[in-house]
Amino acid sequence: MSVLIVTGTSTDVGKTVVTAALAAAALAAGRSVAVCKPAQTGVAPGEPGDLAQVQRLGGVTRTLELARYPDPLAPDTAARRCGRPLLTLAETAAGIESLADADLTLVEGAGGLLVRLGDFTVLDLAQKLNAAVLVVAAAGLGTLNHSELTTRTLAASGVRCAGLVIGSWPAAPDLAAECNRDDLPAVTGVDVVGSIPAGAGGWESGDFALGAQRWFESSWTARYLG
């Protein structure tokens, strides 16, 4: 089973769109793809969540959501507020392992690396599955600190970082964004392996799928997706 976990340096950095782009690029490379979102928050029952966007943009049809909570909070807090049981590490790992017949299983976390999805964090899940973690980072001010904190934690925990992806690269990047793109590898020791154009989440699925094939470094795509 090949599992790649997608986390962020914080919330709203573009994890869902990056996950969709990874799925589209892997499908274009001829691989079968499944996507798991262990915990979805801030979405009512019956409403489309992050996996619906991954399906629309990335073209993946096999998805798994293990828990959903209405409040837009960290999953463990949202679960307690609505009186539902917390997800456990064991049941989440088992759910992901149920997708093992796919060539590639993408797992989208919630928020950052140490946000609790239940009684565990994304970091705990990566250790349990022995999976690499791809870090989605912002382009602007603050991203160097957030990215280094995340990659240092991965390294200290013995979890392989698959790279950094800038989740929303502006059409007209300012000085901070331009400098950050050069400085991120220097401060983290991790390569920037892709970037997603700002607003790509609103594209038509066909245009998105074509774009996804060029948003990641080709050598990285061959290693992890192709």
Active site residues per annotation: 37
Taking a C-beta distance cutoff of 8 angstroms, is the pair 191, 9 a contact? no
CB neighbour list of residue 139: distance below 8 Å, 6 or more residues apart: 166, 167, 168, 169, 170, 173, 176, 177, 180, 181, 195
The span from the CA of 217 to the CA of 226, in Å, is 12
189 vs 123, 154, 161, 177, 202, CA distance in Å? 19, 12, 10, 18, 32
Taking a C-beta distance cutoff of 8 angstroms, is the pair 160, 133 a contact? yes
Q: Which residue has the tokens 């399906």?
A: 55
Half-sphere exposure of residue 204, counting CA atoms within 13 Å on the CB side?
2
